[in-house]
Amino acid sequence: MKDQSFLRRISIALFVVMLLMFIVHVQILVHFNRQVITVHGNDTSGSSYMEINDRENSTSSWLKRDFPLTEESTVDLIGQTVDETLYNNSGDAIREWGLRIDILGDCFINQAWNGEVEIHQFAGGESETVQRLNLQDYHLEDVRLQYRFDGDLLIPMQKGDYIVYYPSEYYTEMPIRSGDSVKIGMIFYYLDKLDLSEYDLTIHYHRNLTQGWSFVTFIIAAALWFLSCVVYGTSVVSYRIARKQMEQRRSGLSYMSELYEAIYIINLAMDEMTPVSPGEYIENLRSKYSSARELLNVAVRGDSDESFLADTLAFVDADTLPERMRNRESIVWEFVSKLHGWCRFRFFAMDRTEGKPLENVIFAVQDINDERNEAQVLAERLEKAEAVTAANNTFLSMATENLQAPVREILEINGKILRESGEGKTREYAESIRSTADRMLALISGLARRAEAASKEKAGSDRYSLRKTAEEVLRMIRPMAEKKHLGLETAITENVPDALVGDAEKLKEIMASLLDNAVNHGTDGTVRLSVFGKILGETVHLLVSVRSIPKDGAAPGGSLPDPKAVRVENDLDLEVAGALLASVRSELKSVLSADAWKDIYFEIDQRIAEENDQ
């Protein structure tokens, strides 16, 4: 707005200057066109002047013999053609002009072309006669001047008389454009000498509206005014567009006001901070500090706890912000505020332009005391739950160790019965006992593995081999699968990276639980462990599926399960897998296809391992 006000004042000032220059130009133009300039004699110092010379060729001078000058005497008169040439060397056109020739000795005027002449005969005396004639087209009876006629009209002139020549517009003797000249002619007769050296040229110049230095000055002022109008108009349009966009952004960002205590749009290039949802503390400072950089710096220094001050100042540093957000949509920082307790600052990127640094960002302030309290309560609950779980795991580990020995004794006794007894019914009962004991031993082994895995403290971010982990799981399950006459196989798509970073033990336990479930419920056929993957930048999205394929069913390779999830049946292995998946924000899904395929699957993201990952 300040820039617009300044541009508006400049535009108004230039308009006033332009108007004054136009008025001055018109005044100068009117004064110039009204001027009457007189040039005396053959004065060539001015831009326009007149030269009067005898025409010099064989036909321009002659004798009129035996002219009866008086009744008593005749004389030979000399006839002479005289040229008068007007030169216009000015930069303006001559609109009108006139020539006065003073007669310095006795002579006769005979002819003048192409205009008219006003002859003053016997000037200054009582008998002065004045008549305007066209000496090329006249009637003798109309001539009032004294004259002599012998076939030629001869009008006598004496010293003191004068002639005024009026140029002919019809014969283009006026106006005279700049750089042009006009020549007129007269014929005089004289006896001894013809002296036409005394004459005055009167000139009326005409200058158009677009001529003169004052017009050039007016044009410069007009051009500057027009340019200022264009700049001002552009700034107004840009401001309205920016204001409209700002309003749209504000309306679009208004929903964020429920999450954040204060929201501002910061123009890093203009160093301006515009409120969307203003905060009271920052607004109190805005009345003193207009610069966004200074405002953020002062606000942080006055509110941040001393232990967080240096890092918080570095976070709100507007000079380094574009570089820190080069490839990021937002950055966040949490600190302790003296006024509000735990707070969160967040910058969101706006209006990215290819090849240019970030210019606009959203600055949001959020009170996270409740969130911190909830996180603390959750952490305490989790700590208690982990203590309970650790105790249960210890108990489960001890129980499974104690249970394995009796079950193995039952299997040994049952083996002796099968070897020593020939009774068919007894052997049938022994086979049932062995099958039941095998299943019990497999279940106890699974519980033991889970207890052992749960008792280990894992960081959950180790580097591991996905294919090796899958092979270990199959090796654990294979003895039980062979007793159930089930085949085991694995299929991992080629695009899945082998080296990943994550909780390998937890992933192994989940896959083992799903395979336990499939083997325990399976009779003849194949159990397949499949892993599909989609790489998303630095992570891979895994879909891990355990499929039960009947013996007479053909399974097309590499097909994904139907995404429609159905209820997972109540099974201990699946409940364990579901609980483990919930801890990594995933869930267990199950589908049953029309071809009697049974798929149990889950989805999980894992980071792709780099060379420096341990």
Which tokens belong to 44?
Answer: 């060539």
The pLDDT > 90 percentage for the chain reads 41
pLDDT of residue 166: 96
The Cα–Cα gap between 527 and 522 comes to 8
Is residue 443 within 8 Å of 407, Cβ to Cβ? no
Least confidently predicted of 216-225, 331-340, 474-483, 501-510 = 474-483
Q: Is the pLDDT of residue 378 over 90?
A: no
* Cα distance between the two ends of the chain: 58
Backbone angles phi, psi at 103, to 5 degrees: -85, 125
Beta-sheet strand order (sheet of 37-40) = 37-40, 199-206, 93-102, 162-166, 116-121, 129-133
Are 7 and 13 contacting, i.e. CB atoms less than 8 angstroms apart? no
Which class for 282: exposed (0-12), middle (13-18), buried (19 or more C-beta within 10 A)?
buried
If you average pLDDT over residues 51-62, what whole number do you get?
90
Q: Is the pLDDT of residue 317 over 50?
A: yes
Cβ proximity of 107 and 155 under 8 Å: no
Q: HEC string of 350-400?
A: ECCCCCCCCCEEEEEEEECHHHHHHHHHHHHHHHHHHHHHHHHHHHHHHHH
* CA dist 8 → 15, 228, 412 (Å): 11, 8, 104
Its sign, for the CA torsion 569, 573, 575, 580, is negative
CB 578 within 8 A of CB 587: yes
Higher pLDDT, 528 or 392: 528
3-class SS shares of the chain: helix, strand, coil, % to 5: 40, 30, 30
Going by pLDDT thresholds of 50, 70 and 90, the confidence category of residue 395 is: low
> How does residue 559 score in pLDDT terms, banded at 50, 70 and 90?
very low
Q: What is the pLDDT of residue 553?
A: 53
User: Residues 288-314: what's their mean pLDDT?
Assistant: 91
Res 132 pLDDT > 70: yes
pLDDT of the residue at 560: 41
pLDDT tens, position by position, 417-470: 767 776 777 766 666 676 666 656 666 666 666 666 555 544 456 889 999 999
Tell me if 110 sits within 8 A of 153, measured CB to CB. yes
User: Which one of 277-281, 307-311, 587-591 scores highest in mean pLDDT?
Assistant: 307-311
Q: What is the mean pLDDT of the chain?
A: 83
User: From start to end of 404-474, where are the E strands?
Assistant: 462-465
Structural domains present in the chain = 60-94+104-192 (no CATH), 259-367 (3.30.450.20), 460-614 (3.30.565.10)
Q: CA-to-CA distance for 470 and 507, rounded, in angstroms?
A: 9
From the list 180, 156, 154, the residue with the least C-alpha distance to 167 is 180
The share of the chain scoring above pLDDT 70, in percent, equals 81
According to the model, what pLDDT value does residue 561 have?
Answer: 43
Is 70 or 530 the better-scoring residue by pLDDT? 530
User: What is the CA angle 547-553-557, rounded to 5?
Assistant: 55
Query: Phi and psi dihedrals of 547, rounded to 5?
Result: -115, 130
Span of 92-106, 161-175, 312-326, 453-467 with lowest mean pLDDT: 453-467
**Cα–Cα separations (whole angstroms), residue 216 to 25, 206, 221, 233:** 9, 17, 9, 25
Q: Which of 288, 338, 341, 345 is nearest to 318 (CA)?
A: 345
Tell me, what DSSP letter sits at residue 569? P
- Check whether the bond before 88 is cis (ω within 30° of 0): no
Most confident of 366-380, 435-449, 502-516: 502-516
Place of tokens 């895995």: 453
**Confidence grade of residue 305 (pLDDT, cut at 50, 70, 90):** very high
Higher per-residue pLDDT: 108 or 431: 108
Task: Look up residue 570 and give its two tokens.
Answer: 């109540």
Q: Give the CA count within 13 Å in the CB-facing half-sphere of 316.
A: 26
CA distances for 520 relative to 164, 432, 480, 514, angstroms: 138, 15, 8, 10
Q: Higher pLDDT residue, 405 or 252?
A: 405
Strand partners, 530: 491, 545
pTM of the predicted structure, to 2 decimals: 0.43
* CA–CA separation, 357 and 268 (whole Å): 10
